[in-house]
Each structure stands twice: as structure tokens, then as C-alpha cells.
Structure 1
Amino acid sequence: MARLLHLNGPPGIGKSTIARRYAAEHPGTLNCDIDVLRTLVGGWADDFVRAGSLIRPAALAMIEAYLASGQDVVLPQLLIDPAEIGLFEGCAARAQAQFVERLLMDAPDRAVARFHRRGADQPDDPWHAQVRAIVAAQGGDEAIHRRHAALQALAGSRPDAVVVESAEGDVEETYRRLLASLA
């Protein structure tokens, strides 16, 4: 049975990094990083949020078709609204695939610090600049704390969601923990 692996977590926690690693070690797995797809929409840098809302239906269709072909998909995407998660869960169900939720988490203050280090090795990357600007406009560190708390509440409300502690600065350990949670 194909599987849709949703990697959730606060911004900067390592979702995309772990998803790339997972796909690299699981041939045929699609890494459907919606934030990467967003950059394919003309004007995305001018309206980051709109580009995301435009690309999400295409991502859902792509995920469902890929799952229906019998292949796995990994989805690194921060989602807090259960209705949004339900859209992805629904596409897995329609494709007769398994929906698996993992929340990559760290302590709130460490999550904030990790966000601020995000993209430090790519200071001119416009995607990271966009995310930093959005978070700043939404309240900066407090916005990250709110998302972290919302994710903790979400984890408690979704019985099949499993929290995986993200080891700061140790992708290998985080990846090992993810694989152990899937065994």
C-alpha cells in the first residue's frame, strides 16, 4: 500500500531536509515540497501567501495521482488547521493509500533559535527572506511560539500523529528517529 508521509512541524525545524533525505533513500518516493512548488508560480516573491494558495490544489492532485500509481509521497509542510490536513488525508484515502503523520518538534525556545539560523548558509535566497518577512509581520518570535503551541495541541487531538524529537544540528539522528517511528 502506498503511503503519504506528512512531516509537520514549526518553521525551520528540518522538515524539508528530512524529506529530501527520506526520498533519496526510498527510490520512487516523491518529495512534494509545496514551498518549492510555490516558487514555480509567477510573482510568488511578491505574494508568497497567494502563490501557496494557488499551488496547493495542484499539489493535492499530483499527490493523489502519484499515490494512486502505487508510489509513496513525503510531504514536508507546516499545517495546523485540521481541515487542511484533512485535504491531504482525503487524497490519500481516495488513492487507497495510508496517511502517516509525523510532527518534528523541539522545545519552543530552541525552535525559535533554529528558525533564526534557517538559511544562514544561503543569505541571498529569496525564499528564506520571504519566510522571515512573513514571520516578522505576524509577530516574530511570538508567532513561532504560537505555531509551536498550536502544533502541540494538534498532536494531542490527532491520535495517529506521532511526535519525533528533532535533534538540533544532527540530521542523521533526527532521520534515525523518524525511521524508528515508522517501523
Structure 2
Amino acid sequence: MHLNGPPGIGKSTLAQLYVEDHPGVLNLDIDVLRGMIGGSRRRFAQTGEIVRPIAIAMAGTQLVAGYDVVMPQYLGRLSEIERFEAVARHSGASFCEIMLMDTKERSLERFTRRSEVAELAWHVHVQQVVADNGGLPLLADMHDRLTDVLHARPRAAVIASTEGAVQETYWLLAEVLDAGFDLGDHETTLGR
């Protein structure tokens, strides 16, 4: 399962809730892996290029062994999504693509607020990375790329993510998964 969405939307939180309820499922949080690579704080983008092949190998190993994977990661390029989808298909697994979304304006506000009250040092670091690479216009562009992804990948399920409604959003995720991944097109938006 790929949980996609803008930064700060709740992907990692939902992934952690999911693995706590589903023993044996790997929470393949690429940002956690990124922190395991030396120099990742100074070379954020370059470290991403190192980490993605590691994540692909981990996903393949887990899936071939017959266990599931949840990957909470913003991916705004089709080629990156297709790489992870290919690993799932090659391993004989289904690829469930879920997009957590809020409006662009609320997504930007949520990211900013998350960094202001950051419980994790990682959130503060990501705020600085975003600031160094374009700030709010960068985040707006990332949101736009996700909209483009949805147009190109209409089978992705869209879940409306409401700030502060973690449990409700998790229930919507459970509904998507209970539906068997086959929601037709992204016109089927759960929530709001």
C-alpha cells in the first residue's frame, strides 16, 4: 500500500496506526530510512536517491516473503510510483494506491503548523529543507503535482484528510482497504 499525499498530511501517522493493528506488516517510511544514511540532514535530496533503491529492495523482500508493506511517502513523479508498483507486481502482490488530500491552502497551513508545534525533530528539519528549497511555493507545487498524479492514475483512492481527525481518517483508510482496493476512479473520494 502506498500512502501518498502532501507533506504534513498524516501519512506516517496513519501508516504507524495501520502496522500496530496488522502484525507482520512493514512500515516502509522512507524518511526514517533517510535518517539512517550519513549526512542526510545536509544532503536531503541526494540521500533520497540513495534510499529509494534500498526501500525498493526492502519492499520486494517483504512481499516475496508473503508479508504486506505500507509506504507513507510523498511521490509526485509517476516514474517513482511506477517503480514501487512494479516491485509489488513482480512479487505477486497487489498495489494499493491511496492519496490523502486536503485543499492546497489547508495543506500548506497544516505543514506550517506541524513544524511550529513539532513533536519530532524530523518535522523541524523538514520545515528547514522546505524553506531552503522554495518555502510555501514549493509546497504548493508539490500539491499541484499530486493533482497531476491523480489525473494520470485514476485508480488511486482519494481520502479526504481533515486536520486533527486522525482516527476518522484511519477509519476511512480501513473502508478503502475493506473495499478490496477496487474503487474505480478517483472520483470516489471518501470523507467530507
Provide the TM-score with structure 1 as the length reference: 0.92
1:51 to 39, 47, 51: 47
Contact 2:118 2:124 in 1 (8 A): no
Whether 1:142 and 2:119 are equivalent positions in the alignment is no
Q: Write the distance in 2 (CA, Å) between the matches of 1:179 and 1:39.
A: 29
Whether 1:98 and 2:94 are equivalent positions in the alignment is yes
The code of the aligned residue for 2:16 comes to R
Contact 1:16 1:33 in 2 (8 A): yes
Distance change (3 Å), C-alpha of 1:179 and 1:146: same
Whether 1:131 and 2:126 are equivalent positions in the alignment is yes
Aligned residue number for residue 166 of structure 2 = 171
Higher RCO (C-alpha under 8 Å, 6+ residues apart)? 1
Pairwise CA distance, 1:78: 0.3
Tell me, which stretches of 5 or more residues in structure 1 are unaligned? none
Superposed CA RMSD in Å reads 1.4
Contact 1:63 1:91 in 2 (8 A): yes
Aligned residue number for residue 31 of structure 1 = 27
Q: Write the distance in 2 (CA, Å) between the matches of 1:138 and 1:120.
A: 18
Aligned residue pair count: 178
Aligned residue number for residue 157 of structure 2 = 162
Runs of 4+ in 1 over 3 A off after TM superposition: 119-124
Identity of aligned residues (%): 45
Provide the TM-score with structure 2 as the length reference: 0.88
Pairwise CA distance, 1:123: 6.1
Pairwise CA distance, 1:109: 0.8
Whether 1:152 and 2:147 are equivalent positions in the alignment is yes
Whether 1:87 and 2:83 are equivalent positions in the alignment is yes
